[in-house]
Amino acid sequence: MPKERKIIPTIISAAIFIIMEVAALNMLAKNNELQQIWLARGAHKFMAKTWGMTESIKYYFSLKKQNERLAQENFILSEKLREYLEAGAVLEETRDVQPITGKVRGYEYNSASIVKISNNKQHNYIIIDKGSEDGIGTRSGIITAQGVVGIVDAVSNHYAYALSFRNADVSISARLGNEGAVGPLIWDGHSTNGAILKEIPLQYKFQPGDTVWTSGYSSIFPPDIPLGVAGNSKIVNGATNEIQVTLFQDFTALRYVTIVENKGLEDIESLEAKGAQHKK
């Protein structure tokens, strides 16, 4: 058979194969939750790798600008660190207190750059330039000095795919004020810096302008990261307050982030599993 006559049936067969395999995978994912997670993770890894490659070429040409920004950021951080050290020394002299670093014990920090971010969807995501070879694992948190950015969902060797905080599926445990009530904080679904703090019992008094912090109960994020300020509130079902929060973090101008990994996460999860088994 001439080559030209062989090509058309091959293309038709390949097209039928792709359609049928996609249909089969769709059936597999739709009907089985475990396989759905597995396939989604595979797709996320693929996306992270693909976008990482294209974006790394783009970044190569903007290295000079990035270096200038990093140097500036480094300078600001050094200044802040010096201020903290001086303040810590004064506090230790005056009263017996735990050093500030004790609060973040058990967490490991890594710096990373964002290679791709989506901001205009209901399920926004972030791809960062650090992967499993850099010690990044799934369920690590992504933060900046301005708040929480997202949670790592899948990792390849050199890149990681994270669910942005501006994703309808992401909820983080937040605390209202320094000693206030704890509730889940979720994105409000439309604005660039809006969130909703839910399930705050009515007996807790607060003022618009109170700061919202991470609670530290989620085992992903350390406590006391400032997230935003409380705004208006409304009573839901006569039982709890729902508070509008204006986030400190500007998601449209994100480039450099910090990955935070709870080193005790496995221990906590195994304890939870044991607890669940004990209940049964």
List residues near another protein by CB under 8 A: 1, 9, 12-14, 16-17, 20-21, 23-32, 34-35, 37-38, 41
Question: What is the Cβ-side half-sphere exposure of residue 144, based on CA atoms within 13 angstroms?
Answer: 20
Residue 10 Cβ, how far from another protein at the closest point, in Å? 8
User: Is 141 within 8 Å of 128 (Cβ atoms)?
Assistant: no
* DSSP 3-state of 245: strand
Closer to another protein at the Cβ: 106 or 137?
A: 137
Instruction: Report the nearest approach of another protein to the CB of residue 38 (Å).
Output: 4
Let me know if 271 is exposed, middle or buried by CB neighbors in 10 A (0-12, 13-18, 19+): exposed
- CA-wise closest residue to 183 among 140, 150, 148, 217: 217
From the CB of 224, what's the least distance to another protein, in Å?
35
Nearest distance from C-beta of residue 266 to another protein, angstroms: 16
Q: Which is nearer to another protein, 42 or 189 (CB)?
A: 42
Q: Among residues 36 and 98, whose Cβ is nearest to another protein?
A: 36
- In the complex, what is the shortest distance from the CB of residue 269 to another protein, in angstroms, rounded to a whole number? 14
Pick between residue 235 and residue 273 the one whose CB is nearest to another protein.
Answer: 273
How many Å apart are CA 178 and CA 104, to the nearest integer? Answer: 16
In the bound state with another protein, the residue whose beta carbon lies nearer, of 32 and 122, is 32
What is the dihedral angle through the alpha carbons of 31, 33, 35, 40, rounded to the nearest 10 degrees?
110
- What is the chain's alpha carbon radius of gyration, rounded to the nearest angstrom? 23
Task: Determine the Cα–Cα distance for residues 50 and 56; give it in Å rounded to an integer.
Answer: 10
Shortest Å, Cβ 154 to another protein: 11
Question: Which residues are within 8 A (CB) of 1 and not within 5 positions of it... i.e. 6 or more apart?
Answer: none
Q: Are 157 and 52 contacting, i.e. CB atoms less than 8 angstroms apart?
A: no
Task: Quote the CA–CA distance of 275 and 50 in Å, as a whole number.
Answer: 41
Comparison of 12 and 89: residue with beta carbon closer to another protein: 12
Q: Which residue, 37 or 87, has its beta carbon nearer to another protein?
A: 37
Helix (H) or strand (E) holding 211: strand 211-214
- Measured from the CB atom, the residue of 10 and 178 that comes closer to another protein is 10
Contact yes or no for 120/241 (Cβ under 8 A): no
| H helices present in 32-62, as ranges | 33-60
Dihedral sign (CA 140, 142, 144, 146):
negative
> CB of 259: closest distance to another protein in angstroms?
22
* Nearest distance in Å: CB 36, another protein: 9
